[in-house]
Amino acid sequence: MKVVLASQNPHKLAEMQKILGTLGMEVLLERDVGVNVEVEETGTTFAENSLLKAQAVFDATHLATVADDSGLMVDALGGAPGVYSARYGGLHTDAERIALLLENMKDVPEEKRTAQFVCAVTCLLPDGRKIAVQGVCPGVILRAPRGEGGFGYDPVFYLPELGKTFAELAGGEKNRISHRGRALREFCRVYREVDRHDE
């Protein structure tokens, strides 16, 4: 089965293809099916925003569609930057957004620097079914960046049990524990279950 990823991001495509390929799915980008849908992320939750993205692309293509929405929630900041992670402070680069985060947390003591990455995945199928799942990865926000890999807030997101930040993990290692990896594996589990009940 072909499924359209509601995104123009080839990195997300590679990650999705790796995991959804185990279901026999071929993941396509919007441009592969001739659409480029602009979606305003007006939701207040990751689940709402992933549904908005999936619905917009489904309405344009009527093909099976999958979308994800993700971000970082810091406990001491009341869940910020949350759904605004990609546009925190209206800033344009990851380095600037990390600097703002660390500045906003400069008075937060070690034991209160807990946070979680969250990823919501929504899939809409042409027969009307909807699968919506979420994956969470807990961690701690460091006082300075560490590591060269990954993207976004990876260099300040520390995993105490591994003694490393997300930016210090190899791609496969990050996928095994990350919010996105967890959400996608949960998606596979639910999809297989739904499929079994249809037989």
Active site (catalytic) residues: 69
Q: What is the DSSP string of 103-120?
A: HHTTT--GGG-EEEEEEE
Taking CB under 6 A as the binding criterion, the range among 32-40, 106-114, 138-146, 151-159 that sits at the site for ligand IMP is 151-159
Element (DSSP H or E) covering residue 67: strand 65-74
Candidates 55, 61, 70, 165: give the one binding ligand IMP (CB under 6 A). 70
* Residue from 3, 150, 187, 191 in contact with ligand IMP (CB under 6 A): 150
59 φ/ψ angles, rounded to the nearest 5 degrees: -60, -30
The residue type found at 88 is: Y
Give the nearest distance from C-beta 72 to ligand IMP in angstroms.
6
Tell me the one-letter amino acid at 54.
A
User: In the bound complex, what is the minimum distance in angstroms from residue 112's beta carbon to ligand IMP?
Assistant: 21
Q: Does 145 bind ligand IMP (CB under 6 A)?
A: no
Distance of alpha carbon 10 from alpha carbon 45, whole angstroms:
24
Token pair for residue 22?
């185990």
Could you tell me where the beta strands, DSSP code E, fall in the chain? 2-5, 26-29, 65-74, 114-124, 130-141, 157-159, 164-165
Q: Give the x/- contact pattern for ligand IMP in 7-46, rule: CB under 6 A.
A: ----------------------------------------
Contact by Cβ (8 Å): 121, 183:
yes
Residue 91 or 194: the one with the smaller Cβ distance to ligand IMP is: 91
**Binding characters for ligand IMP, 155-174, by CB under 6 A (x = yes):** -----------x--------
Number of residues located near ligand IMP, criterion CB under 6 A: 14
Q: Which stretch binds ligand IMP (CB under 6 A): 28-36, 69-77, 121-129, 141-149?
A: 69-77
Task: Give phi and psi for 164, each to the nearest 5.
Answer: -140, 160
